[in-house]
Structure 1
Amino acid sequence: MTCERRLVPLFTGPSPYRGRRVALLTRHGKERVIAPVLEPAIGCRIELVEGFDTDRLGTFTREIPRAGTQREAARKKARIGMELANLPHGLASEGSFGPDPIAGMFSWNVEFVIFLDAERGLEVVGVAQGKANHGHLLTGDWTVAEAFARQAEFPAHHLVVRPEGENDPRIRKGIAHWAELEASFAWAQTQSVNGLAFLETDVRAHVNPTRQSTIRAAAEDLAAKLLSPCPVCRAPGFWIVDRVPGLPCSECGAPTRETRADILGCVRCPHQITRLRGDRREADPGRCDYCNP
């Protein structure tokens, strides 16, 4: 699912959040994938906060653009949830979609799950990424639209339909049944000057199982970080902050751009350590600038 290497914590300790209430602001069912991971892992009790329409902060269907970065949006959600629940600890998740980072040939999903601790002044972020189920199609042919829907794993993954093109403000979301999809397709054609309908995968978390899996992986990453305390100040979240290149080539021994060590750092104090990677001692010659210029 993810392209990030999973790091085993160098230091582990008891959870500082056992028995604590943690606010989670969402209206798209994210508690169903986040709570089963974090509650047993760190011993907290996640409390769903629903008193705010998170679509006001941005929508994937482009009616409302997201302000700021992905991390800033997640932070804002968490703070709103904390304020509404009157709790010092909060969670939120925020996703983004774009081309895959290797070849740019298919859709890629990056998910952040952020944890804010107002008592300690800490912010810890779990991250996961992987191939997304997020496609689109412009067509006037129902047979072509039906084939697209099957490829998008409809109806397990819901669809969105608009007339004419991707930015038309007339929209039907959360389409979950074949009869509903066919009716929406016909509606879009009648509303369209060009007779075309624009279909896309609905990537809201509660209607996109592929995205749910990536959010769950981000929650697992967050749990591991929260259970990794700084060896100096004991703040949770002692994790990778940078990487050291130079893994030697297995053919010629020259240093490559492949990672040789991880630099772990604290989110609160300046303490850092360098940890050599034990999973690989040499790099593939294909990654060597000398052997494969």
Structure 2
Amino acid sequence: MSEPSCFTNRVAVLATMHYKEKVIAPILELELGLKIVVPPHLDTDRFGTFTREQPRPGNQLETAQLKAQQALALTGETLAIASEGAFGPHPQILWLSCDREIVLLLDQRQGIEIVGQTLSTETNFASQTIASYAEAQAFAAKAGFPTHGLIIMSDRDTKNSSAIYKGIRTETALYEAVKQALAQSTTGRIHIETDMRAMHNPTRMQAIAAATEDLVRNIRQVCPQCGCPGFAIVEALPGLLCAHCHSPTRLTRSVRYECQKCHSSEEVLFPNGLTTADPAQCLYCNP
């Protein structure tokens, strides 16, 4: 890996209205020499809200791309950064919640985009139906309140909810939100959930920082042929041989890197440091 100089002293617009610059800007400015600016009139909520009033217009990557493109259109710059988070069950451990964060760099000057990402099980993502302030307090204690914000709704379905209270960070605000939501509820029960917006969720901010650091690593992975940054893995190839019977398994044997500029590629064996697979992972030894 070598240090790309194509970003030094360039202005990069960061598409956020939730103060993500607090963790993204220091990393990119220090590691890449970028000058991060936040457009003052960019409404990223138009690209989806966690409280479901506004659906996300595409998948996670597509939404980050739309945010970055909008930031460039507003400012006339050629370099943008955007991030997008998604919360739900872990893809392999379904009973465990996780936070997948991506941070995208879109460079119109070079015609490239580079993505950093992380999958973290360190998240307070949760929701519950409650009927009293005591139940709200119990939920809040598990959610890391008051350093982490909460949201109260009279109904989980945003379209049916007559009241939505976001960014709750004090006992007084929590009490008032519960009181008012219960008064407007037709069932005597209301909905409480963690506020996953970055400025109300320090744990999520840490995951965004980790995804930003991954972005830096990917930027520094330059094409050996043309020097373009972002020489990224585009394919994982299975077939790692079983240590006992030497049959191919589904585990990754190699990965293929490809340059998005000149399209040269390179296959790297044993990316996980394993030259053979545990027989427990073999369909022949452990059918």
The one-letter amino acid of 2:65's match is R
Identify unmatched segments of 5+ residues in structure 2: none
Comparing 272-281 with 194-203, which one deviates more in the overlay?
272-281
Which residue of 1 is the match for residue 167 of structure 2?
174
Match of 2:36 in 1: 46
**Aligned match of 1:160:** 151
What is the count of residue pairs matched by the alignment?
A: 283
C-alpha separation in 1, matches of 2:224 and 2:135: 58
Q: Which residue of 2 aligns with 1:58?
A: 48
Aligned partner of 1:216 in structure 2 is 209
Structure 1 residue 182: Cα displacement: 1.7
User: Alpha-carbon deviations, 1:9-49, whole Å to 9, x = none?
Assistant: xx323332111111112110111111111111111111111
CA distance in 1, matches of 2:181, 2:163: 9
Match of 1:5 in 2: none
CA RMSD of superposed structures (Å): 1.4
Which of 121, 132, 154 is residue 141 of structure 1 equivalent to? 132
Inter-partner Cα distance in structure 2 for 1:243 and 1:45: 34
| Alignment-derived partner of residue 141 in structure 2 | 150
CA contact (8 A) 1:249 1:283 kept: yes
Cα deviation, residue 169, structure 1: 4.8
Q: How does 1:160-239 map to 2 (within 5 A)?
A: 160-167=151-158, 168-239=161-232
CA contact (8 A) 1:160 1:175 kept: yes
Q: Helix, strand or coil for the counterpart of 1:156?
A: coil
Match for residue 252 of structure 1?
A: 245
Correspondences of 1:21-170 after superposition (within 5 Å): 21-131=11-121, 132-167=123-158, 168-170=161-163
The residue that corresponds to 2:280 in the other structure is: 286
- Name the stretch that deviates more: 243-252 or 207-216: 243-252
What's 2:256 paired with?
A: 263
Ranges of 4+ aligned residues in structure 1 off by more than 3 Å: none
Q: TM-score, normalised by structure 2?
A: 0.94
Q: Residues of 2 paired with 1:287 and 1:23: CA distance?
A: 46
The superposition leaves residues 61-89 of structure 1 with CA deviations (integer Å, 9 ceiling, x where unpaired) of: 00011112211111111112122222111
What is the SS of the residue equivalent to 1:261? strand
CA distance in 1, matches of 2:144, 2:136: 13
Superposition TM-score, scaled by structure 1 size? 0.92
Taking only the aligned residue pairs, the percentage that are identical comes to 41
Amino acid at match of 2:57: A
Distance across 2 between alignment mates of 1:99 and 1:225: 26
Q: Give the secondary-structure state (helix, strand or coil) at the position aligned to 1:251.
A: coil
Structure 1, unpaired ranges of 5+: 1-10
